A and B are shown apart, each in its own frame.
Chain A
Amino acid sequence: MILAALNLNFQTLSDAIGLGAIYALMAVGIGLVFGVLRLVNFAYGQLIMAGAYTLAYTSSWPTWVSVVTSFAVVVALSLAMDLVVFRPLRGQSPAVMLVTTFAIAFLLQSVALIVDIRDGTLGEVTAAFSVLNEPVHVLGGDVRKITLVSIAVAAGALLLLALLLAKTTIGLHTRAAAQDFRTARLLGVRANRVIAFAVVLSGLLAAAVAVMMTVSAPFVTPDFALQDTIVVLVGVVVGGIDRLWTATLGGFTIGFAWGVINGLLPTDKTVYLPSAVFTLVIIVLLLRPAGLFTWGRQAAGERV
């Protein structure tokens, strides 16, 4: 009844949850690296783009080999980014680090463009999981299979991550480093190891997102996932960047809001979608500048 009043159908709502789930994973990837490096990685979208291109270029291979290759490329690129750029710049001001990630983002985008146009056309097509675009009947409505897969993957990945952080030694060290890196190092926590751990996890999440995004958007171009990354970065700030779980909720919320507003707008008015979402973002930030999901002293608490 509420759905009807809002002129929302079941598929719009489920798609919004699916998009929220993917954005939540991106928010975790961004939040993990921010936690240990105090670095907002603007180049996160280019990791997803690299994963998507890998899927496109290996689309003639067996699906699982293509997916594993994509994961390997994204994780290797994440580690290379840490080794070549982040590590030498560690300890620099947040402004320097942020501008550096801008530079990396545009560099990777340019490299992708050069590689892509070798065949005279811009863009490559992935075909690995097109079957997941088919609808399935759930709870009296039609839902795309990829939506269910996105929700399941996000829930599974978040659960796994929570266990990893709570129950393992490296997880404990990562949480400590995110909260007070200097004290953690004084206790013997190896800085390079926890950063590499966060970077690898972040890369794995980017690769998973690349696989899921290419189902809905199989045409890969150098600006693949660029807008999504900007939206998620905004969502992370709206949720509360100082904590991994508030950042994740922020990512989910902005994805969900994007999906719902998209569903509410008439087809010929979707051009207003970004302005509607970002107006909402400004209102939220004016009302809750520390983060939508941050209360009281939480902002100074545990970050990962």
Chain B
Amino acid sequence: MAETLLELEGLEVRYGSVPAVRGLGLSVDDGEIVGLIGPNGAGKSTTLHAIMGVVSPYAGEIRLRGRSVRGRAPESIARDGMALVPEGRRIFADFSVEENLRLGLAGRSRHDRLDPLERAYDLFPVLHEFRRRPAGVLSGGQQQQLAIGRALVATPDVLLLDEPSLGLAPLAVDSVFEALRRICDHGVAVLLVEQRALHTVALADRTHVLVGGELQLTLTPADAHDPDKIVSAYLAS
């Protein structure tokens, strides 16, 4: 049986008195891709921020490999095997591609014999080609590859992605989704927050629909052929 790597239980996050996430429970097992979709303001990004320690949960529990990470600093959670590809990529535009990747080493949780930068270069050869260039000159799709590569050099157990397809051309989106499957095949569990619902449902082992901060529905890849089901879940709010 696959080990549960990330587990949320009754997670509640509030901004002042306004609830953003309400009683959310989900788990991500070893070798799994779990999707989290929903309309704008559903609490998807807030959930990722709570997992990474950027915002403090009001209630509930967040466990990584069975141990609570609630209340810990983001860098401590990153060093314990969780990596986030943030919304908008947040690459360091003035730094070279290689420097951006080396920054990812700060969160390295395992030290195996493989050169972690080589791992990113294997997955995204264009990063090797442009490794000496400032990251700011890369195209949007290449910058997204860099953001994912930077997270992977930390050799995380769980990779969180916050809308990696945002602002990308269709071809670049396909390339990112294809890369996620390969990443998962390399033994990294993925929690994917996305606006592209059909793409996500088709890719992920399970996809949770979050509406108004609450878990509305859980979909499987078979539901990718039933857009009405997804739409009705979105409209439930």
Looking at the complex, which of A64-72, A180-188, A218-226, A253-261 is the stretch in contact with chain B?
A: A180-188
| A-facing residues in B81-107 (Cβ within 8 Å) | 83-84, 86, 90, 92-95, 99, 102-107
Bits for B139-158, please: 1 = Cβ < 8 Å to A, else 0: 00000000000110010000
Say yes or no: is B178 at the interface (Cβ < 8 Å to chain A). no
> Would you call A188 and B54 a contact (CB within 8 A)?
no
- Complex CA gap A123/B102 in Å reads 51
- Complex CA gap A213/B54 in Å reads 44
> Would you call B86 and A186 a contact (CB within 8 A)?
yes
- Complex CA gap A213/B73 in Å reads 41
Q: Which residues from B are CB-within-8-Å of A189?
A: 75, 103, 106
Say yes or no: is A8 at the interface (Cβ < 8 Å to chain B). no
Nearest-Cβ distance from residue B48 to partner chain A, whole angstroms: 10
Bits for B48-59, please: 1 = Cβ < 8 Å to A, else 0: 000010100000
**Which single member of A175, A182, A188, A302 contacts B106 (CB below 8 Å)?**
A188
Say yes or no: is A288 at the interface (Cβ < 8 Å to chain B). no
Q: Which residues from A are CB-within-8-Å of B107?
A: 187-188
Q: Which residues from A are CB-within-8-Å of B75?
A: 185-191
Given A176-B92, A179-B92, A302-B95, A187–B102 Cβ distance below 8 Å? no
Say yes or no: is A169 at the interface (Cβ < 8 Å to chain B). yes
Say yes or no: is B108 at the interface (Cβ < 8 Å to chain A). yes
Interface residues on B, range: 20 to 34
Say yes or no: is B78 at the interface (Cβ < 8 Å to chain A). yes
Say yes or no: is B23 at the interface (Cβ < 8 Å to chain A). no
- Complex CA gap A185/B52 in Å reads 10
**Which single member of B74, B92, B93 contacts A185 (CB below 8 Å)?**
B74
Q: Which residues from B are CB-within-8-Å of A190?
A: 75, 106
Q: Which residues from B are CB-within-8-Å of A144?
A: none
Q: Which residues from B are CB-within-8-Å of A172?
A: 95, 99, 102-103
18 contacts between A and B (CB under 8 A): A173-B106, A179-B94, A186-B74, A186-B84, A186-B86, A187-B75, A187-B103, A187-B106, A187-B107, A187-B150, A187-B154, A188-B78, A188-B104, A188-B106, A188-B107, A188-B108, A191-B75, A301-B93
Q: Give residues in B with beta carbon < 8 Å to A.
A: 52, 54, 73-75, 78-79, 83-84, 86, 90, 92-95, 99, 102-108, 150-151, 154
